[in-house]
A and B are shown apart, each in its own frame.
Chain A
Amino acid sequence: MATEIQSGKVHVQTTINGESVDFLAEPRESLLEVLRDNLGLTGAKEGCNNGNCGACNVVMDGVLVNSCCVLSVEAAGASIETIEGVASPEGLHPLQQSFLENAALQCGVCTPGFIVAAKALLEENPNPTEYEVRWWLAGNLCRCTGYDKIVRAVLDAAERMRAEA
């Protein structure tokens, strides 16, 4: 639900990582801004603010999106998953574990976006080829790793998840 209130701000009700959340936002604010600056969910990063780097990836109603290109008011009534919701109280997601074990990050600023994107891939295709991984992740830029270890980490996690399934 989104209700406009007097200050020109809009009251938005949404669900983030399974919890219902309310916020006030200016209509011009992006979902990324609201996540980071209003809600303190700073795991999603801004690398470009125009859909070219994937650092801000979140999943909205089951679809991988660049949150810098979504207006925050569009989150009304939606269900949003961010990097903060990927690990569970029991432990890390296999992708997170695999990124650590495969040394698939250097500076780490692209990592939340890659993990959110890769999780969306594996939910759609649990057994991707190396090409399919590279194709899916082509919307995420990493300037540090040269992608090699990231691609291996995703393939590795996919294998573990299939073994556990």
Chain B
Amino acid sequence: MAVDTRVGQTIKHHDEEYKVIGTRPIRHDGLEKVTGEARYGSDINLPGQLHGKVLRSPHAHARIVSIDTSGAEALDGVRAVITSAAFPDPGDKLTGGGEAPGLPLKFKSANMLARGKVHYHGHAIAAVAAANPHVAAEALKLIDVEYEVLDPVLEVWDAMKPDAPVIIEDLYTAKADGTTAEEASNVAAEMLYEVGDVDAGFAEADLVVDREFTFGVVHQGYIETHNATAHWLKDGHLHVWCSSQGAFTIRQELADLLDHPITKIHVVPMEIGGGFGGKTTAYLEPLAALLSRQTGHPVKMAMDRADVLKATGPTPGGYVRVKLGVTNDGMITAGYANLAFDAGGYPGSVVGAGCRCVFAPYNMPNAKVEGFDVVVNKPKTHAYRAPGATHAEFASETVVDEICRTLDIDPVEFRLKNSAKEGDWQLAMPPYPRIGHIECMEAARDSAQWQTPLETAPGKKRGRGIASGFWFNIGFTSSVTAKLNSDGSVTLLEGSTDIGGTRTSIAMQFAETLGISVEDVDPIVADTDSVGQTDVTGGSRVTFATGLAAHNAANDMKDQIVEGLADLWDVAADSITHADGTFSANGNSATVGEAAGLLEEEGVFPIGKNTVTPTREGGAFAVHIADVEVDDETGKVEVLRYTAVQDAGVAIYPPYVEGQMQGGVVQGVGWALNEEYVYDDDGHLLNASLLDYRMPTALDVPNIETIIVEVPNPGHPYGVRGVGEVPIVPPPAAMANAIHDATGVRMSHLPMSPARVQAALAAEA
């Protein structure tokens, strides 16, 4: 049955009617993006600009004995060469309010340019500024580095062994009970979450399923590579243009790393070509800044794709164990999980987030979750869309499917019976507010795909799988400043870099509140000097938090208009009503546009503003259905049909909610079937190109059918829940469950690449 997914299905669980919210306007920045005129980070070229390049370690683990830069410095056209000595000594300082506040600054600093030791293949060693990028690249070859090569440790299970080589000699485990280990090891931190009594819970169970899963490292794979241009003026003012998920975060990191006053740092967010969590931290910005200071010229730097794969922050590989106990009638009695994730070369993986999500879709009386953050000789890992949740829920949703098979219970019925709902506990969080897991599961059950029997084909192994996913979403801080122009239009400055239509989803909320059309709002992503504090575009927070700031700013503007009109009309402010964009009192009335004109004559120009740090994000659930065909000769898995259901709270800008769902699914399919860092035993990354790190193409996937479920978030005036991240969570489990349905084989490693599926089939036969 053909389903038109261009306008996907929406199922509302509320009665609100809006004028602007829920419509499909053309996005404000669309024109520039279809004509090639939009300016991304590397599209900027300044007069007198030099070009920087970075020398990277050929070894995964080594001591740096010496670095001789004289050959490079002597090359014609080379203007400066820096090593870690160019950075101020971080001492014992902690990182400020950036992406991961409170971590030792020395780790971040050493990740910019290695200090004494390299921790992974591709670790930055030195940077060069030269007249053009080709000369800079030649200069890198003239830098002489002497290494003492050490044994690398690549996997968490090896790094956690008592006799493993210790990568950071003074790293002492921060234990779950608040104490610190006495002996150095590769385990940076341990965490423990407990609810009820798991031993008693497992004792009550009729069936206990206990499984282990492992994961390769995957990259966010944004198409735009990292870039930065910096100009350090002689009076200490530092201007930086970059493609980052957070201009304010980059400003903070520059202040920390360079020990430079924050008031002197000005970061201009350029358009950004994808991030997915991988562009939440600085790599090139501090190097460009130091090279600019040294040369007196603007310095532009851009990574090539190999640099991006080797030396930015992919998301961890690692290990997850999940054990679930159930009664014969399919009620969960207890859950235990153990997660150990790659931090990479320095501490700080996303394992804590994985712990919080592993059992989130279910209300179980007893649960215990342990997490381990483990340093290995791989790049310092970072967030990737619902960071940690995909690993965790791949494991738990596979175990749930196995339980359903064993007890012969319908997987939808099992999930409905055990589903988390309003008032149930969440790990390390207050109890759930109103959430939409049950509504999503019901929508999936009633969907065209679930209701259509899987088409069989002679000689083909086909199967269907279903899986749930949860991501908690994040609030953080956002700011909006909105200026009413004399014609009634509004210029809206906001601080969130726009990676996929959020200028418009923010403007729509402003327009709804003020009662004007979205075309009358001109949203602009402003630089760090022009708008209030705004944290990273991440945690699915922009439409939620920056949208809330826009709503509040519209109310602020409304109050100012009312005050102005009250003077003009000589009425009490509280006698003025506002409905459908018209202010009225005592026989007078004015639209926003008319009011703007009247106030202009009085010299009044309202500016609505707001900075907000909301904490009631609401949490997002998704349920996905995958139909697959497994080629038993090659092990290749093909996706035949796919439906994604998701609770968006209220979908402000539906085409872009659908886009987030579809994009997340396809990233999840890539993770499920193909994507993985391949290392040799010495820790060299072998597939640092987009040919060998193979992401899905248009030919690898079908259309993705979407069903938006609207269960409003009580923590937002328009009911918004973040939508960007949760759609990557269910695909690997849905695919694994479909592969099992097709073949009878359970996969326990991501990716489920052809070779692995083939091997699993052979082992089963």
Contacts and interface: CB of A to CB of B under 8 A. Distances in A.
Nearest to B694: A52
A46 to B, nearest CB: 7
B36 interface: yes
B34 A48 contact: no
A52 B308 CA distance: 15
B663 A138 contact: no
B223 A111 contact: no
Contacts of B689: 48, 50, 52
A105 B34 contact: yes
B224 A26 contact: no
Nearest to A41: B36
Given A107-B273, A152-B6, A143 B223 contact: yes
B34 A115 contact: yes
Nearest to B38: A108
Nearest to A135: B699
Given A107-B222, A107-B272, A133-B698, A145 B36 contact: no
A101 B305 contact: no
B730 interface: no
B39 A42 contact: yes
Contacts of A151: 698, 703
Contacts of B304: 49
Given A141-B690, A149-B6, A109 B698 contact: no
B695 A149 contact: no
Given A50-B691, A53-B223, A101-B26, A143 B667 contact: yes
Interface string B547-570: 000000000000000000000000
Nearest to B34: A96
A101 B24 CA distance: 9
A47 B656 CA distance: 23
A86 interface: yes
A149 to B, nearest CB: 6
A73 interface: no
A102 B30 CA distance: 11
B36 A84 contact: yes
Interface string B23-51: 01011011101111111101101000000
Given A47-B305, A109-B273, A145-B663, A82 B36 contact: yes
Given A148-B703, A149-B662, A134 B35 contact: no
A147 interface: yes
Interface in B655-693: 655-656, 658-660, 662-667, 689-691
Interface of A is mostly: loop
Contacts of B33: 105, 108, 111
B691 A107 contact: no
A53 to B, nearest CB: 6
B635 interface: no
Nearest to B224: A109
A105 B30 contact: yes
A48 B615 CA distance: 39
Contact of B698 (A45, A100, A103, A138): A138
A47 B500 contact: no
Interface string B281-307: 000000000000000000000101100
B271 A108 contact: yes
A31 B272 CA distance: 23
Contact of A143 (B38, B225, B695, B703): B695
A16 interface: no
Interface in A60-114: 82-84, 86-87, 92, 96, 99-103, 105-112
B452 interface: no
Contacts of B43: 36, 42
A107 B499 contact: yes
The interface centre, meaning the residue of A26, A40, A46 with most chain B CB atoms within 10 A of its CB, is A46
A137 B698 contact: yes
Interface residues of B, number: 60
Nearest to A139: B697
A55 interface: yes
A147 B664 CA distance: 11
Question: Which applies to chain B's interface (DSSP): helix, strand, loop or mixed?
Answer: loop
A12 interface: no
A14 interface: no
A142 interface: yes
B224 A107 contact: yes
A146 B319 CA distance: 28
B698 A134 contact: yes
Q: Which of B45, B274, B501, B698 has the most CB of A within 10 A?
A: B698
Interface residues of A, number: 59
A47 B26 contact: no
Nearest to A51: B691
B35 A43 contact: yes
A37 interface: yes
A103 B660 CA distance: 11
Contacts of A106: 274, 499-501, 656, 659-660, 663
A150 interface: yes
A28 interface: yes
Given A28-B134, A47-B305, A146 B662 contact: yes
B254 to A, nearest CB: 24
Contacts of B29: 108
Given A86-B35, A106-B656, A47 B501 contact: no
A108 B35 contact: no
B586 interface: no
Contact of A144 (B42, B663, B690): B663
Interface string A109-124: 1111001000000000
A99 B34 contact: yes
B276 interface: yes
Contacts of A101: 26
B659 A107 contact: no
A99 B224 CA distance: 20
A74 B658 CA distance: 42
A45 B273 contact: yes
A143 to B, nearest CB: 5
A83 B36 CA distance: 6
A34 interface: no
Contact of A45 (B40, B272, B275): B40
B118 interface: no
Given A110-B223, A140-B698, A143-B276, A148 B662 contact: yes
A24 interface: no
Given A109-B274, A146-B666, A150-B698, A45 B35 contact: no
A59 interface: no
B412 interface: no
A158 interface: no
B221 interface: yes
B699 A138 contact: yes
B255 interface: no
Nearest to A50: B689
B223 A109 contact: yes
A133 B656 CA distance: 22
A75 to B, nearest CB: 18
Given A43-B37, A141-B697, A142-B223, A149 B305 contact: no
A152 B275 CA distance: 24
A42 B27 CA distance: 21
15 contacts: A47-B225, A47-B690, A48-B689, A50-B305, A55-B223, A92-B31, A101-B26, A103-B655, A106-B500, A112-B34, A137-B699, A138-B697, A141-B695, A141-B697, A143-B222
Given A103-B655, A143-B223, 19 more contacts: A43-B37, A45-B40, A45-B224, A96-B34, A99-B30, A100-B27, A100-B30, A107-B223, A107-B271, A107-B273, A107-B274, A108-B271, A108-B273, A110-B223, A144-B499, A145-B662, A147-B662, A147-B666, A152-B5
Interface of B: 5-6, 24, 26-27, 29-31, 33-40, 42-43, 45, 134, 220-225, 271-276, 302, 304-305, 499-501, 655-656, 658-660, 662-667, 689-691, 695-699, 701, 703-704
Q: List the 8 closest pairs (A to B, CB-CB), nearest first.
A: A43-B36, A109-B273, A106-B500, A108-B33, A146-B662, A146-B666, A103-B655, A83-B36
